């Protein structure tokens, strides 16, 4: 590995692990090679702490990168067109073996004009000054004993415009002091530490943070008393409903119990502090601005506040601080962690900047530029991992998802963009399903949950885990089931009762708990019962299975009648014989079937396939596709219905 790249990774990881220096994927670093031909720089959207020898960086030809700054025609272009051209030229300046779509940092041009090693960070200690009205004067006072003082850079739009401004300021500084500036404070942005060696640059960072921190304070610590889980979950449902009503977006809601947040929420002027617009591009890009202060949680009030933001041209807040409860964030889990860091930093900065002459926020013009800048959209997408699909960000729970058909359905929902709770009485099997989904779909969000569907307490605990994890529910798929095969005269009564408990009581208990959440959430929802072709056309020696599968169909129709007024749709799917990965179609069951039809065990599966009109074996994916369809808006007018997916074996009567 090139020495410059090794040094870049080292300093990036060092500063990136300190959340007081960076929030989320913010900040960037660069090191120029000793021959002056190349510059290694962090890739846009990559977190500094995650950079390694394979990922998170690009190598640029320095001369080509500097040539971009020298081209006067670029300044004549409209900002967005200019940025597209700059991105294209930076891509052409790359000289490495990276095959992904990783882009060089948006500040690559700026790094090119500075010293050999550059560390650009957004430290909260520095943020308190660069976002304060008297920040510049206070920094000058802090560093008055320096022979070579820091360079103050007034705010400008990121990218080429900022690079050109700094280029002029840096040239003037060098003429005045006979050397390059080592410390640059960027108004409403952050810190640049630049030096001839990585260790010197790191030392500059440490010294600046130490000096800036010496004059800053935190609010007095308070002891927090966590609210009851029911109260927390109720607030999650209200926020999720309000966010959906104003944006049409399905979002998980994450709760953060935090002593620091509690300390700020005790402050008498927190509402005033949060009333100021976004401080930095990071706060705007990741959190859509400052956290929304709520004296109390009420869905109607939250909705009204979010509507007001949208009508004024803002993006709806993703963070909510509720008095006496804590911080709630509307975002996928990975993004929620980033937003939490941004909120923590913003609260510290606002608290201290208010003591330094007042808070200096981004102007509307500056916010509009960031909101419309494709580079920041790209950075957010890379940093947080965007989900796509017909069920994007909806929340589902699937029973019996540890194996067979349940596993296929859980996988299909995850592939369609849903967050999926994988519920099974065998938690190890559920964890295996989660692992398989994660290996195939890197952005999937899953949670393996133990659930005995016949036990009401276990069912309630499973749904509490779903609410704790994601803060809502959109889809329930009842797929857990058993099928003890006996002739009527040999059927043990305990097997009959077990089948009733799993296939009927289990479906009932799950639907009861799910519908309560969906009604309270007021975002409609879907309940899908996996029945069987045996629920329509009974099979021989399957009394309990026939009875329960027919019963599931009728329960579904009744629930559809009850829940329709809440927008909750209830439908059934009757699969044919799905053999792959099935616990029902185990060797013993196949032997029973072979005996029933007077054939050899190895002939059982071909025998059933041949009974279909299409003469094709039904796969788990076929049923998963049907579930995804029914759960989607493409089926928004379908409820109380039964879809038979059996390759044409039985007909709905």
For residues 264 and 201, membership in a common domain is answered with no
Does residue 258 contact residue 166 with C-beta atoms inside 8 Å? no
What are the start-end ranges of the E strands in 171-227? 183-186, 190-195
Q: Quick one: 67 and 28 in the same domain?
A: yes
Let me know: does 167 contact 65? Beta carbons within 8 Å: no
Tell me if 105 sits within 8 A of 383, measured CB to CB.
no
pLDDT given at position 330: 97
Helix 299-311 vs helix 229-247: angle between axes, to the nearest 10 degrees? Answer: 30
CA 432, 435, 439, 440 dihedral sign is positive
Measured from the Cβ of residue 392, the count of other Cβ atoms closer than 10 Å reads: 15
> In what order do the strands lie in the sheet containing 642-645?
446-450, 419-424, 395-399, 475-478, 525-530, 568-575, 642-645
**Contact call for residues 630 and 528 (beta carbons, < 8 A):** yes
* Number of domains the chain contains: 3
Residue 651 lies in a domain: no
Burial class (CB in 10 A: 0-12, 13-18, 19+), 503: buried
What are the distances in angstroms from CA 247 to CA 266, 315, 517? Answer: 30, 10, 21
Q: What is the percentage of the chain residues whose pLDDT exceeds 70?
A: 97
Domain match, 544 and 441 both: yes
Strand partners, 328: 255, 320
| Per-residue CA distances from 292 to 257, 468, 472 (Å) | 16, 21, 20
Q: Does residue 627 contact residue 390 with C-beta atoms inside 8 Å?
A: no
In-domain check, residue 387: no
Residue 141 maps to a domain: yes
Cβ proximity of 317 and 287 under 8 Å: yes
In this structure, the dihedral spanned by the alpha carbons of residues 465, 470, 474 and 479, taken in order and rounded to 10 degrees, is -40
pLDDT of residue 123: 95
Q: What does the pLDDT read at residue 589?
A: 83
Distance CA(359)–CA(206), nearest Å, equals: 25
CB 167 within 8 A of CB 113: yes
Residue segments in the chain with a per-residue pLDDT below the cut of 50? none
Outline where DSSP puts E strands in 235-352.
253-256, 292-294, 319-322, 326-330
Backbone phi and psi for residue 250, each to the nearest 5 degrees, phi listed first: -85, 125
The pLDDT score that the predictor gives to residue 229 is 92
End-of-domain residue from the set 213, 239, 259: 213
Q: Which tokens sit at 342?
A: 């941004």
Q: What is the pLDDT of residue 169?
A: 96
Rounded Cα distance, 594 and 611, in Å: 15
> Does a structural domain hold residue 390?
no
Domain region containing 590: 395-645
CA geometry: angle at 454 spanning 481 and 474, to 5°?
Answer: 75
Residue written as tokens 């959207």?
45
Q: Which residues pair with 573 in a beta bridge?
A: 530, 643
Q: Is residue 298 part of a domain?
A: yes
**Which CATH number fits the domain that encloses residue 433?**
3.40.50.720
Q: What span, in angstroms and rounded, lies between the C-alpha atoms of 194 and 462?
A: 52
Strands 183-186 and 151-153: parallel
Q: Which pLDDT score is estimated for 159? A: 87
| pLDDT for res 1 | 74
Listed residue (393, 243, 387, 373) closest to 310, CA to CA: 243
* 76 and 13 belong to one structural domain: yes
Based on the fold, state whether residues 203 and 267 are members of the same structural domain.
no
Residues 335, 424 within the same domain: no
Alpha carbons 86 and 439: distance in angstroms, whole number: 35
153 part of a folded domain: yes
Are 366 and 408 part of one and the same domain?
A: no
Does 235 lie in the same domain as 160? no
Residues 329 and 472 in one domain: no
Calculate the CA 213 to chain-centre distance: 32
The verdict on residue 43 lying in a domain is: yes
Of 356, 382, 408, the residue at which a domain comes to its end is 382
C-alpha span between 47 and 514 (Å, rounded): 38
Question: CA 499, 503, 505, 509: dihedral to nearest 10 degrees?
Answer: 150
Q: How many contiguous H segments (helices) and E segments (strands) does the chain have?
A: 25, 18
Residue ending a domain, choose from 341, 359, 382: 382
Are 530 and 405 spatial neighbours (Cβ–Cβ below 8 Å)?
A: yes
Handedness of CA 538, 543, 549, 554 (dihedral sign): positive
Task: Say if residue 514 is in the same domain as residue 422.
Answer: yes
Residue given tokens 């007001």 in the structure block: 308
* 241 in any annotated domain: yes
In 10 A of CB 497, how many CB atoms? 12
Phi, psi for 132 (deg, rounded to 5): -115, 145
486 is annotated as an active-site residue: no
What pairs with residue 230 in β-bridges? none
Identify the active-site residue in 40, 264, 545, 608. 545
The secondary structure of 400-446 as a DSSP string is TTTSHHHHHHHHHHHHTT-EEEEEES-HHHHHHHHHHHHHH-TT--E
* 3-state DSSP helix/strand/coil % of the chain, to nearest 5: 50, 15, 35
Q: What is the structure's pLDDT at 190?
A: 94
363 and 410 both lie in a single domain: no
Mean pLDDT of the chain: 92
Mode of pairing for the β-strands spanning 28-32 and 38-42: antiparallel
- What CATH code is carried by the domain that includes residue 158? 3.40.225.10
Classify 45 as helix, strand or coil: coil
> 190 and 329 share a domain?
no
């Amino acid at each position: 590995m090139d020495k410059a790249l090794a040094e870049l990774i080292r300093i990036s990881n060092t500063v990136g692990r300190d959340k007081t220096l960076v929030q989320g994927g913010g900040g960037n670093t660069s090191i120029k090679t000793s021959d002056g031909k190349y510059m290694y720089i962090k890739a846009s959207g990559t977190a500094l702490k995650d950079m390694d020898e394979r990922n998170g960086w690009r190598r640029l030809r320095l001369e080509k990168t500097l040539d971009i700054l020298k081209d006067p025609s670029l300044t004549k272009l409209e900002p967005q067109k200019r940025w597209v051209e700059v991105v294209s030229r930076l891509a052409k300046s790359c000289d490495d073996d990276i095959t992904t779509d990783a882009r060089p940092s948006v500040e690559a041009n700026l790094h090119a004009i500075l010293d050999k090693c550059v560390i650009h960070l957004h430290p909260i200690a520095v943020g308190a000054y660069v976002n304060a009205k008297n920040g510049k004067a206070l920094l000058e006072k802090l560093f008055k004993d320096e022979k070579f003082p820091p360079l103050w850079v007034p705010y400008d739009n990121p990218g080429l415009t900022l690079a050109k401004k700094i280029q002029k300021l840096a040239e003037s500084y060098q003429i005045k002091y006979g050397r390059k500036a080592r410390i640059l404070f960027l108004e409403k942005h952050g810190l640049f530490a630049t030096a001839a060696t990585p260790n010197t640059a790191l030392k500059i960072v440490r010294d600046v943070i130490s000096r800036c921190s010496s004059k800053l304070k935190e609010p007095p610590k308070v002891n927090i008393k966590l609210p009851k889980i029911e109260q927390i979950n109720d607030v999650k449902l209200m926020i999720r409903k309000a966010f959906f009503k104003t944006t049409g977006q399905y979002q998980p809601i994450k709760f953060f119990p935090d002593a620091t947040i509690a300390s700020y929420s005790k402050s008498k002027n927190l509402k005033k502090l949060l009333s100021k617009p976004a401080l930095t591009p990071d706060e705007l890009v990741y959190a859509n601005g400052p956290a929304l202060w709520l004296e109390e949680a009420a869905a109607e009030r939250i909705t009204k506040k979010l509507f007001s933001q949208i009508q004024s041209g803002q993006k709806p807040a993703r963070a909510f601080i509720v008095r006496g409860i804590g911080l709630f964030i509307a975002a996928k889990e990975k993004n929620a962690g980033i937003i939490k860091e941004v909120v923590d930093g913003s609260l510290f900065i606002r608290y201290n900047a208010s003591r330094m002459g007042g808070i200096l926020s981004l102007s509307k013009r500056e916010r509009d530029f960031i909101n419309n800048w494709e580079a920041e959209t790209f950075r957010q997408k890379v940093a947080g991992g965007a989900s796509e699909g017909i069920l994007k960000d909806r929340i589902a729970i699937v029973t019996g998802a540890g194996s067979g058909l349940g596993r296929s359905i859980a996988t299909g929902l995850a592939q369609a963009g849903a967050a999926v709770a994988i519920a099974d009485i065998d938690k190890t099997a559920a964890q295996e399903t989660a692992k398989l989904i994660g290996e195939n779909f890197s952005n999937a969000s899953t949670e393996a949950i133990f659930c005995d569907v016949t036990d009401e307490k276990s069912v309630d605990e499973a749904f509490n885990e779903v609410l704790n994890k994601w803060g809502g529910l959109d889809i329930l798929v009842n797929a857990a089931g058993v099928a003890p095969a006996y002739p009527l005269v040999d059927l043990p009564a305990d097997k009959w009762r077990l089948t009733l408990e799993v296939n009927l009581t289990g479906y009932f208990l799950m639907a009861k708990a799910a519908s309560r959440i969906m009604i309270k959430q007021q975002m409609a929802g879907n309940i899908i019962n996996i029945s069987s072709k045996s629920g329509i056309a009974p099979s021989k020696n399957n009394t309990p299975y026939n009875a329960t599968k027919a019963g599931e169909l009728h329960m579904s129709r009744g629930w559809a009648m009850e829940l329709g007024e809440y927008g909750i749709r209830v439908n059934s799917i009757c699969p044919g014989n799905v053999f792959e990965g099935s616990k029902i179609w185990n060797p013993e069951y196949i032997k029973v079937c072979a005996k029933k039809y007077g054939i050899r065990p190895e002939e059982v599966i071909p025998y059933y396939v041949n009974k279909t009109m299409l003469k094709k074996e039904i796969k788990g994916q076929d049923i998963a596709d049907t579930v995804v369809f029914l759960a989607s808006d493409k089926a928004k007018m379908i409820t109380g219905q039964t879809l038979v997916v059996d390759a044409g074996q039985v007909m709905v009567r």
